[in-house]
Amino acid sequence: MVPLASTRCRSHFVWATFTLAAVAATSSCRSDAGNGARSQGMPALPVQIQVARAVPIDDVTEYLATLKSRDSAVIMPEVEGQITEILVRSGDRVAAGTPLMQIDPARQQATVKSQRDTGTAKQAGLEFTRQQFERVKVLHAEGILSQQDLDRARTEVDAARAELEALDAQLSEQQVQLRYHRVTAPTAGVVGDIPVRVGDRVTVSTVLTTLSRTSGLEAYVSVPVERAPGLRVGLPLQIVDSTGTIAAEMRVSFVSPQVDDATQTVLVKASVPNERRSLRPAQFVRARIVWGTHESPVIPVLAVSRLGGQYFAFVAQEHEGTLVARQKPLRLGEIVGNDYVVLDGIVPGDRVIVSGTQMLADGAPVKPQG
């Protein structure tokens, strides 16, 4: 048999346990009821709401491009010699025919003078042979000299004339060579770097300077071969500056039919308008190829928050006759102006909350402001 005292102890323990559980349940119900009442009585937070709209968005890819001048020329001398004078400076704008440098012409001038003097002597010799021919001709007519003497005299005149003509041709060539000692601009443009100095001896392979026109620029863009199927003449191409502002707009004018075997890229060219002359030959720039256009919703940057690497935004939705804030995860694209392009999470027509998002929680009541 169980002792009576032990039975009474068990009864008291069970009753105490039941009483404590009832009290705890009652307290919990009251707490939940109080929280629900406070949630339902929470005042609506005034917020600014903007309707998400769909706008045309360009499908673009950005590449590094090089600007090259279509009218760029490397200036090299036509003759050898020592530079005696440099007539321009780097950066000067010159017209076609402007003298750039002078190469010492003394030796060539001496050659030209020597040939000119020789020509004078040859001219005198030709006149003498002509006079001799006229005398022989008269004596032949009188029967004093033979036909052979006449032919010999005629041959001497022809030989003297041929020698003089050959000398004249050589003199003309040497005079042309003399003009090459003054280096002139073949076209209008801007003078580049001048690596030579007065006193340097130059040869026909020495680079004197470069001459470029900033108005005739082309953008050279190397596009990976994976994007080559989408390339075509006429695609829009944009030059952008360091701030992302479009500096020039043009269209693709050339697509190479071959792939560069070293880089596995396809060369694309486009003529660059440069009315402001802000771009220069050999400059590296950012170039965007516009592959096409599609419509996507955009929302203000201020409406987007980031938590743990994930982007979120609040939208106002109807719930039991009131507006409440609902937090939505986003997948974003690039920034266009002051807006994010939304790839997923927002659809056109959603009422996006753009102010007071720091004070919001999912399900909190809101009211439009203004």
Position 278 confidence tier, pLDDT thresholds 50, 70, 90: confident
The whole-number average pLDDT for the span 161-185 is 91
Predicted confidence (pLDDT) at residue 35 exceeds the cutoff of 70? no
Average pLDDT, the chain: 84
- 213 contacts 71 by C-beta, under 8 angstroms: yes
Q: How many domains does the chain have?
A: 3
In the predicted structure, residue 3 carries a pLDDT above the cut 60: no
Q: Give the model confidence (pLDDT) of 206-216 as tens digits.
A: 999 998 877 77
Domain end, chosen from 153, 176, 210, is at 210
Reduced to 3 states (helix: H, G, I; strand: E, B; else coil), residue 250 is strand
Specify if 272 maps to a domain: yes
State the pTM of this model. Answer: 0.54
Q: In this predicted structure, what is the pLDDT of residue 60?
A: 86
How far is it, in rounded angstroms, from Cα 90 to Cα 86? 11
Q: For 102-116, what is each residue's pLDDT tens digit?
A: 999 998 899 889 989
Provide the CATH number for the domain around residue 126: 2.40.50.100
Question: Does residue 35 belong to any structural domain of this protein?
Answer: no
94 and 201 share one domain: yes
Domain membership flag for residue 30: no
Q: Is the same domain home to 278 and 303?
A: no
The string of DSSP letters for 216-238 reads SEEEEEEEEGGGGGG--TT-EEE
pLDDT of residue 43: 83
- Neighbouring CB atoms inside 10 A of 227's CB total 15
Contacts of 190 (CB under 8 A, 6+ apart): 91, 92, 93, 94, 211, 212, 213, 214
Residue numbers of the domain that contains 342: 42-55+295-368
| Residue 13 confidence (pLDDT) | 40
Residue 273 and residue 76: Cα distance in Å, rounded? 29
In a shared domain, residues 98 and 195? yes
How confident is the model at residue 34, as a pLDDT? 39
Among residues of the chain, what percentage have pLDDT more than 70? Answer: 88
Residue 235 lies in a domain: yes
What CATH number corresponds to the domain at position 364?
2.40.420.20
Q: Are residues 46 and 120 in the same domain?
A: no
Question: Which pLDDT band holds residue 31 (cuts at 50, 70, 90)?
Answer: very low
**245 falls within a domain:** yes
237 and 153 in a common domain:
no
Band (pLDDT 50/70/90 cuts) for residue 88 is very high
* pLDDT range class, residue 328, cuts 50, 70, 90: very high
Residue 308 predicted with pLDDT over 70 = yes
231 and 204 in a single domain? The answer is: no
More confident residue, 70 or 1: 70
Residue 59: per-residue pLDDT: 85
Residues 158 and 170 both lie in one domain: yes
For 10-28, the pLDDT digits (tens) are 444 433 343 434 333 333 3
On whether both 92 and 194 belong to a single domain, the answer is: yes
Query: Given this model, what pLDDT does residue 290 score?
Result: 92
Nearest-5° Cα angle at 297, 295 to 299 = 145
Q: Does 93 lie in the same domain as 181?
A: yes
- The answer to whether position 164 is within a domain reads yes
Q: Let me know whether 46 and 87 are in one domain.
A: no
Cα–Cα distance measured from residue 72 to residue 231, given in angstroms and rounded to the nearest whole number: 27
User: In the predicted model, is pLDDT for residue 325 greater than 70?
Assistant: yes
Q: What is the average pLDDT across 302-324?
A: 90
Q: Is 313 a member of any domain?
A: yes
pLDDT score, position 98? 95
Helix (H, G, I), strand (E, B) or coil at 176: helix
Q: Find where tokens 């002792």 sit.
A: 3
283 and 267 in a common domain: yes
> Which is more confident, 22 or 230?
230
Claim to verify: residue 290 and residue 302 sit in the same structural domain = no
| Token duo for residue 91 | 């950066």
> For residue range 41-54, what is the model confidence (pLDDT) as tens digits?
578 888 999 999 88
At 366, is the secondary structure helix, strand, or coil? Answer: strand
What the block records as the tokens of 90 is 């780097």
The answer to whether residue 74 scores a pLDDT higher than 60 is: yes
Residue 185 lies in a domain: yes
pLDDT for 1 beyond 60? no
Q: Which of 210, 240, 262 is the last residue of a domain?
A: 210
Last residue in a domain, options 294, 326, 357:
294
* CATH number of the domain to which 274 belongs: 2.40.30.170
Three-state SS annotation for 276-297: CCCCCCCCEEEEEEEEEEEEEE
pLDDT at residue 370, as a whole number: 66
